[in-house]
Amino acid sequence: MGWGRSLPSRRRSPHVRDMAQSDVHSLDALFGCFADEAKAHAYVRDVRWPDGVHCPRCGHLRCYEIADPNANRLRWKCGSCAKRFTVTTLTPMERSHIPLRKWLFAMRMFAGAKNAISAKELERHLGLSYEAAWFMLHRIREAAIGQVDGKIGGPGHIVEVDEAYQGGKKRGRAGFKFKRGRGAEGKKIVLAMIDRTTRQARTVIVPGISQQQLKAAISQHVHPQSTIVTDTLSSYGFLKKSDYLHMTVDHSSKFTDGIASTNLDESFFSLIKNAIRGTYKSISATHAQRYLDEFTFRWNTSKRTDGERFATAVASGEARRLFYHRPVGAAFAEHPQNDNVLVRPASERKQA
Ligand SMILES: [Zn+2]
């Protein structure tokens, strides 16, 4: 394949531009817009590079559209590194044999699901094997969580911090159940930190609730000078002598004390609880942080429309590109055989 027509990379079809700007609000609109692969490729181009196509590898702005053996696919050659790329290069969809419009449909389902979507549902909707649906969902999840990054809070911000416990074996399987309250041994502890001003959340699984462990998690995710509201757990005592301002609410007597409350954390934990109960039944310990990140992504984007969240998921491939450059086998090496919910796919290499 030689050089094709050198088109101005900013050119877009009016149809796709309208769609990207408005919203793929309903599934009906989604079907219309992604009726064929060419439209799906044009859509991803516009969402990924709203200001004009640039090289995903070196960021160079001068790229030339070249012919592709697959007529539906758009392809460019970078004017600097001379490498070729498509709209899926360095995204979750790269090198996948699943048609792009199925990927987009899966992402739209992911973005529009109130609680969550299971691989089983996706399997039915898209007519894929369970393994392929599972693989897609995990890759989409990985791309979405790239959006949950950076510290929250800052001077004048109130950050609610609270912890919840997950764990418990269910019918002999090592699954996760969600439970509030302290004292349960062997359970995973989820620490939620939510900025009351921006409503942005960060969640992390902490190894314990000692002062050092909580301090490490909070200082990693919350800006100094934030006002932190916690309950009266003594391990939070370090906050009094730190760069943070500290307020407490005594949960044994009341849940709100003036502006001191951790009600946002309560809402967040109930969202997770509903999602697990309604969709996943239980989530595996191995992937717990990944699921938490998914819920955090949902929470952080809850003010956006389904369509906007969808566009965010489509565009978020860039942030996670290192992940996709790992060999396929490496992504699965971390999955244990006894993973109860996410069964290791046998055919991922063929289908995803
Ligand atoms: Zn380049």
Which class for 71: exposed (0-12), middle (13-18), buried (19 or more C-beta within 10 A)?
exposed
Give the Å distance between the CA of 252 and the centre of ligand 1.
59
3-class DSSP state of 191: strand
Ligand 1 centroid, distance to 60 Cα (angstroms): 5
Please give the distance, rounded to the nearest whole angstrom, from the Cα atom of residue 9 to the centre of ligand 1.
14
pLDDT in the model for residue 208: 87
Could you tell me the distance, in angstroms and rounded to a whole number, from the CA of residue 58 to the centre of ligand 1? 4
Tell me, what's the pLDDT at 317? 56
Whole-number Å distance, alpha carbon 150 to ligand 1 midpoint, is 27
Q: What is the pLDDT of residues 23-43, one digit of tens each?
A: 556 666 677 677 888 888 988
Please tell me the distance between residue 82's alpha carbon and the centre of ligand 1 in angstroms.
6
Q: What domains are there in the chain, each with its CATH number?
A: 158-288 (3.30.420)
Residue 135 Cα, ligand 1 centroid: separation in angstroms? 29
How far does residue 147's CA lie from ligand 1's centre (Å)? 24
Distances (CA, A) of 105 to 122, 168, 230, 312: 9, 34, 40, 14
Q: CB within 8 A of 294, min separation 6: which ones?
A: 116, 141, 144, 145
CA distances from 325 to 75, 82, 148, 203 (A): 19, 19, 20, 26
CA distance 75 to 12: 14
Q: What are phi and psi of 53, to 5 degrees?
A: -65, 135
How high is the pLDDT of residue 4? 35
Residue-level pLDDT at 185: 52
Question: Separation of 99 CA from ligand 1 center, angstroms?
Answer: 25
pTM above 0.75, yes or no: no
| Residue 251: strand, helix, or coil | coil
How many angstroms does the Cα of residue 36 sit away from the middle of ligand 1?
28
For ligand 1, the distance from its centroid to the CA atom of residue 61, given in whole angstroms, is 8
Distance from Cα 89 to the centre of ligand 1, integer Å: 12
How many angstroms separate the alpha carbon of residue 273 from the centre of ligand 1?
44
Q: What's the CA-to-centroid distance between 76 and ligand 1, angstroms?
A: 10
Distance (Å) from CA 84 to ligand 1 centroid: 8
| Nearest Cα to Cα of residue 191 among 219, 153, 170 | 219
pLDDT score, position 137: 85
**CA angle 222-276-91, nearest 5°?**
65
CA of residue 238 to ligand 1 center, whole Å: 49
Digit-by-digit pLDDT tens for the chain (352 residues) are 333 333 444 444 444 444 444 455 666 667 767 788 888 898 889 888 888 899 988 889 999 999 888 888 899 999 999 999 999 888 878 888 899 988 988 888 888 777 778 888 889 988 999 888 988 888 888 777 766 678 999 999 999 999 888 764 433 333 344 554 454 555 778 899 999 989 899 999 898 889 999 999 999 999 999 999 998 888 999 998 899 999 888 776 666 666 777 888 888 888 888 877 776 666 666 777 777 888 888 888 888 887 777 777 777 655 444 343 343 334 333 333 323 233 333 333 333 3
Ligand 1 centroid to 68 CA: how many Å? 18
pLDDT tens digits for range 97-140:
899 988 988 888 888 777 778 888 889 988 999 888 988 888 88
Q: Across the strands, what pairs with 248? A: 230
CA of 80 to the centre of ligand 1 (A): 5
